[in-house]
């Protein structure tokens, strides 16, 4: 008897030493890729999804407005039957996005919140979606507690019926953030309630400011480091921009796809430059007869640099969420494939 117990203990010790039992107890690694659609003015976003369906797990059709009376207003292109059928045929999860069409004005009203939750759950049931993605941005700080309550109650209602709740949040490196909208999002409460927590780590430099990197890697790193202090990173998705911005002197920057930038490079024999600190592609465009402009755009080189920096330090990160598909650098998808550490196990 004693000999048998000693033998059993020895076997257990050996298995633990090689990871045999500890691995069985560890959560299965999962790394998911989601895309918002449409998220570019280029009409090729659907092609991007279908051509890269092997590496995309969830699509967020940008289809719905949340109104001040708690009802939901679909866009003119919402609920496209052909797109839904195509996504379902290849096994993509469909979690449409809903954004603020006035709901923020009434979020303090418990009755309106309850009505809005009922409308969302009814929509998901009617359309047989996998869940809903909340993209309510730039709320006032005074809505912080009510917004958290809304997300907690919505999560409970969706989870009771087996549906997912994902959310897009402003990037920040501390609770206060750099804007009122960021401060209005209580990450600790929100992340605890939702299934997927997608951080918009882009537009660091944006249309209203000076030219600069759109998603600096060190800033993205700092944002994820803060997220690690408030939630399990396995439910966090790093926001990636696949678009570019073009700044012309005296004007607001405008969005520009990589494909347009590449055509200019070829037509005028130009070349990208890169700051070693961020490696984001920059183009100073000074062609004769055209206004000078500075362009920053996502490409495969910058993407690889960013993912290397962040995933090496945060291997538990749950994946990425992409804005700007349609006209993106096609090599971006190869980087995602090559660097993806695990398939998606999101249920």
E strand or H helix that includes residue 224: helix 217-230
Residues of the chain with pLDDT under 70: 1-27, 347
Tokens 């007869």 map to which residue?
A: 289
What φ, ψ does residue 184 adopt, rounded to 5°? -75, -10
Q: d(Cα 113, Cα 109) in Å, to the nearest integer?
A: 6
The partner residues of 334 in beta bridges, in order of sequence, read: none
Q: What share of the chain is helix, strand, coil (3-state, %, to 5)?
A: 40, 20, 40
293-297 β-sheet, strand order:
254-256, 244-248, 293-297, 281-285
Q: How far is CA 278 from CA 66, 153, 254, 339, in A?
A: 37, 40, 21, 18
Q: What pLDDT does 23 receive? A: 43
3-state secondary structure of 166: strand
| pLDDT score, position 14 | 36
Q: What is the predicted pLDDT for the residue at 315?
A: 97
Which residues, 6 or more positions from 138, have their beta carbon under 8 angstroms from its beta carbon? 100, 179, 180, 181
Of 231, 223, 145, residue with least CA distance to 188: 231
Return the SS3 of 333: helix
Which pLDDT tens digit goes with each residue over 205-255?
A: 999 989 999 999 999 999 999 999 999 999 999 999 999 999 998 789 999
> By C-alpha distance, which of 76, 133, 126, 134 is closest to 104?
134
CA neighbor of 169 nearest in space, from 186, 155, 152: 186
Return the sign of the alpha-carbon dihedral for residues 11, 17, 22, 28: negative
Q: What single-letter DSSP state applies at residue 276?
A: T
Q: CA 230 to CA 192: how far, in whole Å?
A: 9
- What is the pLDDT at residue 8? 40
**Nearest one of 233, 306, 300 to 32, comparing CA atoms:** 233
Domains and CATH numbers, the chain: 29-243+298-339 (3.20.20.80)
CA distances from 20 to 13, 23, 120, 253 (A): 10, 6, 44, 54
> How remote is the C-alpha of 107 from its chain's centroid?
24
Q: How far apart are CA 119 and CA 117, in angstroms?
A: 5
């Amino acid at each position: 008897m004693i000999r048998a117990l000693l033998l059993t203990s020895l076997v257990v010790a050996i298995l633990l030493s090689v990871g045999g039992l500890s691995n069985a107890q560890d959560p299965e690694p999962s790394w998911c890729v989601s895309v918002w659609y449409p998220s570019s003015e280029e009409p090729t976003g659907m092609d991007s999804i279908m051509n890269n369906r092997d590496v995309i797990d969830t699509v967020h059709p940008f289809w719905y407005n949340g109104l001040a009376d708690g009802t939901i207003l679909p866009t003119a292109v919402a609920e496209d039957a052909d797109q839904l059928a195509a996504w379902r045929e290849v096994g993509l999860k469909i979690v449409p996005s809903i954004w603020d069409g006035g709901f923020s004005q009434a979020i303090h009203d418990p009755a309106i919140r309850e009505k809005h939750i009922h409308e969302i759950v009814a929509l998901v049931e009617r359309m047989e979606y996998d869940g809903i993605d909340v993209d309510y941005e730039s709320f006032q700080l005074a809505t912080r507690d009510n917004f958290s309550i809304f997300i907690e109650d919505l999560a409970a209602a969706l989870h009771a019926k087996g549906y997912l709740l994902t959310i897009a949040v402003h990037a920040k490196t501390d609770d206060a953030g750099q804007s009122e909208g960021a401060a209005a999002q209580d990450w600790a409460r929100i992340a605890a309630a939702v299934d997927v927590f997608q951080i918009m780590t882009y537009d660091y430099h944006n249309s209203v400011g000076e030219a600069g990197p759109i998603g600096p890697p060190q800033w993205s790193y700092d944002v994820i480091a803060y997220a690690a202090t408030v939630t399990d990173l396995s439910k966090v998705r790093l926001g990636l921009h696949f678009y570019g911005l073009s700044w012309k002197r005296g004007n607001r920057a405008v969005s520009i796809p990589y494909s347009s930038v590449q055509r200019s490079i070829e037509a005028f024999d130009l070349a990208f430059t890169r700051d070693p600190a961020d490696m984001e592609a920059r183009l100073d465009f000074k062609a004769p007869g055209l206004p000078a402009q500075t362009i920053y755009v996502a490409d495969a080189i910058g993407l690889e640099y960013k993912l290397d920096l962040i995933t090496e330090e945060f291997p538990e990160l749950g994946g990425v969420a992409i804005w700007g598909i349609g006209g993106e650098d096609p090599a971006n998808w190869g980087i995602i494939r090559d660097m993806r550490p695990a398939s998606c196990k999101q249920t």
